Structure 1
C-alpha cells in the first residue's frame, strides 16, 4: 500500500497495520500532502528546444499516468531519470558534452506542486572525425576508413553514427564473414570532435554451399523460396542479402515468421537453413472513406497471397465512389522467374464521371518492377484498353476521338533518397516516366509523353521544415491536339498538383469545363511547422500552368 502511495506522489505517506483476528486486518493510512509535477522551465536554450526537452523530462512522471487522475505525481527518483533522458536526447543530436542540472526547486504548500528550473548547457555539436581501427588484420584499417569516409565531418548524431556503423557491418557481412565481431566505441577530443573507435575481428571467410527450406506445408518446392536463394549459393556468404530476402518473403504476407540458421560443412563453407512458418494466405476486407474529389468511397476486396502454393499474390475487388465504379483483378509474382524483378498482371473495368464527360473503360496491363538498389527503381508497363467517352456537358467535338482502343508502353525511373516515402522529413526524390502510345479509333493518333517530378525536403530545426517540389510533363501527338481523346490529355489542379484549385480545373476550358492540354507544370514551396506530435500547420505557395499547341492556353496561376 505504501509503495503504491509513494508512486502516486504521497512521499510522506504512512501505513500501519493491525491484525484483529484471522479474518481481519485493519490498515491505518495517513496520506499527507500529495506532491505533483508542476511547472518545468529550462534555461539556456531557445524556447522551441526548451519545450521539447521539457516534454522529454516529464516522461517518467507521465508514465502510467492517466489524464483523468489529476496532475502527474512528483517522485524523487524522477529527478535523475528525467535529466538522463535530456542528456540522452542531446547526445542523439550530437551534443556529447552536454550538461543538465536542477538550478531551482520550489514546492507550493497549498497544492503540492513542485516547480523546477533546469539548467541545460548543450556545448558544441560534435562532428565525426577519422575513425581509429584496432584489429589483428592491418589491412582492415584502410578498408574501414574508406567505408567511413562519406560520414566524416557530419554531425555526430545517433542517426549518422548508426548509419556509419551499419555501413561497416554490412560491408564485411556481404564479404563472407558471418562471425565478424565489430564493436564501436568513442573518444571525444576537444569540444567538438567525435572519434569512432572500431575493434574488429572478422573470423573465417566462408562461402554459402546450399540453402535448405523447412516449415513449408502449402508452398511448393522448389518454387520461389528456393529460387530466391539459389543466386547466393557458391558465393561468399552475404548475410545482408539473406536478411533482405527474408524480409521479402515476409512482405508477401504468405509467412508469419522466418529465421535463417547456418551450419559449417567445411573449413570454408556453410549451409543455411531457412525456417518458415506459413501464415493465413486468404483474406477479405472492406474499407470506407471520403475524398475531396471522389466523395464517399467504399472498397471491398479478396486476397490470396499464396495461390497454388507458388507465392503468387492474387487480389480482386470493387471500389465505389460518388463518381463511379472500379472493378479490378491483379496477380503478382514477387520474384518473376526466380529473379529480384516482380511482375503484375491486371485486368480492370471502370465507369467514371469527369467534369463535362464520362468514361467507360476496360483493359489489361502487365507491369514489371525492378529495385536495382535501395534508391533506384525501374518500372516497365504495357497496357491495352477499350474506351468509350460520352458527353455530360462538353460538346462532342471537345472530347476528341470518343470510341477508341488505347495501346501504350511506359518506362518509369525513380531515384529516392527520402527518409520516408510516406511522410518525408528530409532528402529528395526524382521520377521520370517516358511513354509511347496510340489511340486507335475513327482518327488514329499516336503520341509520345514524358515527365519529370520530384521534391526536396529540408528540416530547419525540430519544429520547422522547408520543402520544394514540382512536376512538368508534356505529350506530343501525331495529329492535332484537339483530336487526341480528352482523357489522354494533361490536366492540372487538385491535391496532387495545385491544391488551391479544384481537381483538374486549372487550364484550358470550353463552356466552363476543363479540356486539358499538351503540357502542364507546377512548382510549390512549403513551410511546415509542427504544432504537436503529427499535427502540423503548412504555409505554401504554388505556380502552375497548363496549355496545348492547338488548344486554348491558360496563363500561369499562383496560389
Structure 2
C-alpha cells in the first residue's frame, strides 16, 4: 500500500506543474519548413497535372516528368491565366531541361489554342555525348587533375558509374571556369583559360571539347614585413601562419594572414585590433611575393558588466551570473564562445546573441539578446524488452523551474516486471558556483528471476570539473531495500530487509572529441562507495567500480570497445560468508544488463543457485547506429514536444564477463556473454 501511495505521489508531481503554454516566440523548426515546402510542391504538382497543357514531339521523357519539371510555370498559368509571356517562359524552361540532358540542338515552340490551351511543340534532335575533354598548354598540372574540375558540373548530376556523360555546353564552360580558379588557388596568378572549343562528330551525336590553358608562373610567399606597433616579436607572429606561408601564394591566403593575426591579438584582449596584409606581387623575386603586414593593436579591453534583454520567464540574474566570473578579465572571443555554448546546452534558449560594446576606460559591456525556448516538456515512451517485456513510460520536465534556470525532471516507467518512479533536481550552479548539485528521489519494484524487490531511496551528488576533461565528485546515498518474495534458499539470500546509508566519491576523465556525439576518444571512470553503521547503515561494505570505453571511427559508423570491473567486500564479516552481502548488493553475471555498457547488474540462474560474487570483470563492444525520430504530442492545453527531430541511439552490442565469489567455501567462477 505504501509503495502505491509513493508512486501516486510521483504521478501528482508530474501532473502538478502548470500546463499553460509558454510566451516565448515559436520559431519554426527546419523540419516544419521542409514539410510546408513539400505541401507547396504537392499543390504545384496537382496543378501541373490538371492544367490544359499538351506537349507534342517529346519521346525521350514521359509527359508526367516534363509536367513536373514545369510545375512552377504551370502553377502560375493555373492561378493567373495563360498569356504569351507565361507560355514563352514554359517553352524556355522546357528547352533548358532538355539541354541539361545533352540535347544540344533541341527546339521548343509554344502555341496558344482556343485562348486557354497551351501547346508546346518539341523538336528534340539527338542526344549529344561528351566524348572527351582535352587540354592544350598545360605543362605543370596533369590533364587528369584538370579533367575532374572540367567535368565536375555535369558529373555531380550523374552517378560515377556512368561512363558516358551528356554534353552540356554551359556545364563545360563552368568547368573551364573551375579550372581557372584551380590554377589561381595553386599560385598561378597570371593563368588564363580560354573558352572551350567544340568538335562535333559527323552525325552530331558526339563532341570533343578542347580547353586552351596558359599557365604562367607559379608564385609562393616571400618575406613578411611587419609595420606598426606589433607588440610581439616578428618570429612569434610568423609562427601563427607557418602552414599558410608554406603553400602557394594567393590573395585569399593573404586575407587569411589578416584574420589569423586578428584572432591572435583578440585572444589576448586587443578587441579593437586592426590588421592589414597586402601582397606586393609586382615586387616578386624568383617567384616569391613579399607581404606587408600593418598592425594597429589598440588598447587591451576588459570585461565589465552585462545587459540582458528579451527574457520573459527566466530571471536576468541567471544570465548575468554566468558571466560574473569574467568581470575585470581581459577580453577573449574564445571565452565568450564557450559561455555561449554552455548557455545553449541548457535548452533554455532558441536564440542567443552576445555583442560586446566598447565603453569608456577600455572596458566592454556584453549586450545579450535572448529568445527563450519552451521550458516545459511532456514525454511518453513505449517499448519492449526481451527480459522486461512491454514498457510504458511518462515524463515531465521543467528546465526553468520558478525562473531560476534549474531543471526538475519527473518520470514513471511501468514494465511487465515492475514499475519505477523518479524525481531529479539538477542545479548546475550550486550557490552560483561551478559546483553542480544533483538530488534524486526514486522508488521501484522489480521481479527478477528468483526474487522480487522493492527499493526506495535518495541520492545527493556534488560534482566539479577541474578541467574540461576531468571531473571529480562526492555523493551520499540512502536506500531502503526489501526482498518481498523469493524462491532461492534462504542461506543464499542474506538480509531480506535492510537500510543502506553510504558515501562515496567518483572521478571521470573524458578525452572524447565530443561528449554528446563522439567520433573518437577515451573515457575512464571510477567510483568508490562506503556503507557503515556510523552512517546509519544496517550493512557495512566497501564497493568500487571502474570502466573504460574507447571510441574508434570505422568509415561512417563508430565502434565502442569498453571494459568494466567491480569489487565489493564486507567490512567485518568474512568474504567466504556469502550472506555477509545481501543478494541484491552483489555482482551478478549474465542477463540483459550484466555486460552492457550501462550497468553491471545482470542475473543468471545456475540450477537453484543465483550466481553471484564480490568481483566482476567484463569486456564489451558496441556499434551505435543513430537514427532520427520526428513526432509531437499535445497534452491538454500545453504544447509539448516529444523528441522533436532528436537522435535516438540504436546499437549492436557484444559483451562477455565473469563473476567470482564463494558458496559454502567452494569458489564459483562462471563466465557469460551477451549479444544484441
TM-based fold match above 0.5: yes
- For normalisation by structure 2, the TM-score amounts to 0.57
CA offsets per residue over residues 492-541 of structure 1, 9 Å max, x none? 345666479x985687x553453421111123578999xxxx9xx99998
Q: Structure 1 residue 235 and structure 2 residue 326: aligned?
A: no
CA offsets per residue over residues 391-437 of structure 1, 9 Å max, x none? 43322332221111111223221111223446644222211212212
- Seen in structure 2, the aligned counterparts of structure 1 residues 293 and 72 have a Cα distance that, compared at 3 Å, is farther
SS across alignment from 1:2: helix
Instruction: For 1:478-493, list aligned pairs within 5 A.
Output: 478=571, 479-481=573-575, 482=578, 483-493=580-590
Contact 1:361 1:385 in 2 (8 A): yes
1:544 to 650, 654, 657: 657
Instruction: For 1:309-458, list aligned pairs within 5 A.
Output: 309-421=403-515, 424-438=518-532, 444-458=538-552
Instruction: For 1:280-319, list aligned pairs within 5 A.
Output: 280-319=374-413
Higher strand proportion, which one? 1
RMSD, aligned CA = 5.2
Q: CA deviation at 1:362?
A: 0.9
SS across alignment from 1:554: strand
Q: Structure 1 CA distance, aligned partners of 2:331 and 2:615?
A: 51
Which residue is equivalent to 2:111?
A: 18
Q: CA deviation at 1:309?
A: 1.0
CA offsets per residue over residues 457-489 of structure 1, 9 Å max, x none? 4457x4797764312221221124522122211
Taking CA–CA contacts closer than 8 Å with sequence separation of 6 or more, which of the two structures ends up with the larger relative contact order? 2
Q: CA deviation at 1:232?
A: 0.9
Q: CA deviation at 1:351?
A: 0.9
1:208 to 298, 303, 328: 303
Q: Structure 1 CA distance, aligned partners of 2:517 and 2:551?
A: 10
Q: Structure 1 CA distance, aligned partners of 2:428 and 2:532?
A: 30
Q: Structure 1 CA distance, aligned partners of 2:653 and 2:398?
A: 43
Q: CA deviation at 1:184?
A: 12
Q: CA deviation at 1:284?
A: 1.2
SS across alignment from 2:616: strand
In structure 2, stretches of 5+ residues that fail to align are 1-93, 131-151, 182-186, 188-204, 208-222, 243-257, 279-291, 626-646
SS across alignment from 1:311: coil
- Seen in structure 2, the aligned counterparts of structure 1 residues 82 and 268 have a Cα distance that, compared at 3 Å, is same
1:553 to 637, 659, 668: 668
Larger displacement relative to structure 2 (407-416 or 170-179): 170-179
CA offsets per residue over residues 277-324 of structure 1, 9 Å max, x none? 122211211122233443332221111111111112112121122321
Q: CA deviation at 1:31?
A: 3.9
In structure 1, stretches of 5+ residues that fail to align are 38-55, 64-70, 89-95, 97-111, 115-130, 150-164, 186-196
Max radius of gyration: which structure?
Answer: 2
Which residue is equivalent to 1:104?
A: none
Which residue is equivalent to 2:156?
A: 60
CA offsets per residue over residues 44-69 of structure 1, 9 Å max, x none? xxxxxxxxxxxx99983269xxxxxx
- Seen in structure 2, the aligned counterparts of structure 1 residues 334 and 291 have a Cα distance that, compared at 3 Å, is same
Which residue is equivalent to 2:220?
A: none
Give the aligned length. 469
1:521 to 600, 612, 617: 617
